[in-house]
Amino acid sequence: MDSVNSIKELHQRIAVWRAAGESVALVPTMGNLHAGHLELVKQAQQRADRVIVSIFINPMQFGVGEDFDSYPRTLEQDAAQLQAVKTDLLFIPPVQEVYPRGQAAQTVVSVPVLSDMLCGASRPGHFSGVATVVCKLLNMAQPDLALFGTKDYQQLLVIRQMVADLCIPVEIIGIPTVREGDGLARSSRNGYLTAEERSLAPALYRTLCETSAAIAEGNSDYRVLESEAIQMLEAAGFRPDYYSIRNAADLSEPEGETESLVIVAAAYLGRARLIDNLVVDKC
Ligand code: PAF
């Protein structure tokens, strides 16, 4: 597997593929790869001739006091995993390549409304950091498609809206969450869990399933369902950040009966902030 650090080298590799008429997919990541990332690569390979994986731990999407410094950096293992699944190109830009004038002088992409709620309310500036770096990575690689996990449901909607609003010519594909056997969504932050916390963690997905089943049975008292779920999570040892039943299309508060719904949740277990979601189609 070829690996490059600069935008110039990235362009040179892609130009050869484009000259041969090949299509290109991009899988943006922050490394510490797990089965969820490898599924994105596999799905990308089924849809495009060439697959680029980027690894860039984006400082702009971490707030003060968040885990930027301790975020797991596992480049050697990541590269070995990507090589094993026959990734075409690994792009690992240093911070100066992505933010050559420094972060404070960087043009920022912000996606209003969607970025301010839920994870955005708890992590101010997070989604403009995500939108800015994803916009830049899309412009650097100019792929035909880019793939993201639906575990980060709100992030996926932010990216879709940014691409639509800025007319970026790329197809954004969301790939279903890969879970452990006990239901826990695969996440780089699962590595922060102690053995005891790891045994408690599947309660998050179980709670989402219970709420979903209640809605499917016709319970539309969403506020009550949310507060019951929060109590269940607290009883299981979590510190819930939010637990909310929303319109799946835009994360607005549900009104009326026919919308497709998503249950979105974020909760701390020890030092890990876990997020998960479940789409519930009532129709
Ligand atoms: O989901 C992630 O890993 C990151 O938020 C992303 C999309 C790679 C942007 O840094």
DSSP 107-123: -----TTGGGSTHHHHS
- Cα(148) to ligand 1 centroid in Å equals 8
**Is the minimum distance from the CB of 254 to ligand 1 under 6 angstroms?**
no
- Does this model's pTM top 0.85? My answer is yes
Residues 161 and 227 in one domain: no
Same domain, yes or no: 105 and 240 = no
Residue range(s) defining the domain that contains residue 268: 188-281
A 10 A CB-CB count for 106 gives 16
**pLDDT value, residue 282:** 59
Region 26-55: mean pLDDT is 99
Q: Count up the domains in the chain and report the number.
A: 2
Q: Which protein residue has the closest C-alpha to ligand 1 atom 6? A: 29
Give percent of the chain above pLDDT 90.
97
Task: Return the active site residues.
Answer: 37
Q: Are residues 169 and 195 in the same domain?
A: no
**What residue type is 109 in one-letter code?**
V
In a domain, 257, yes or no: yes
Ligand 1 pocket member 130 (CB < 6 A): yes
Among 175, 204, 239, give the residue marking a domain's end: 175
**What is the mean pLDDT of the segment spanning 171-189?**
98
Please indicate, yes or no, whether residues 196 and 146 belong to a single structural domain of this protein: no
Alpha-carbon dihedral angle through residues 250, 61, 52, 35, given to the nearest 10 degrees? -80
Confidence of residue 128 (pLDDT cuts 50, 70, 90): very high
Q: Ligand 1 centre from 152 Cα, in Å? A: 9
Query: Could you tell me if 165 and 205 lie in one domain?
Result: no
CA of 55 to the centre of ligand 1 (A): 9
Distance (Å, whole) CA 265 – CA 259: 19
What separation in Å is there between the alpha carbon of 74 and the centre of ligand 1? 16
Nearest CA to ligand 1 atom 2: 29
Q: Which residue lies with its CA nearest to atom 8 of ligand 1?
A: 29
Q: Average model confidence (pLDDT) for the chain?
A: 97
pLDDT of 202 reads: 98
| Mean pLDDT value of segment 188-194 | 97
Counting atoms of ligand 1 from 1, which one is nearest the CA of 58?
10
Work out which ligand 1 atom sits closest to the CA atom of 130.
9
Nearest ligand 1 atom to the CA of 152 is 1
For every residue of 65-132, DSSP letters joined together read: TSSTTTS---HHHHHHHHHHTT-SEEE---HHHH-TT-GGGS-----TTGGGSTHHHHSTTHHHHHHH
Q: Where does the pLDDT of residue 258 fall: very low under 50, low under 70, confident under 90, or very high at 90 and above? A: low
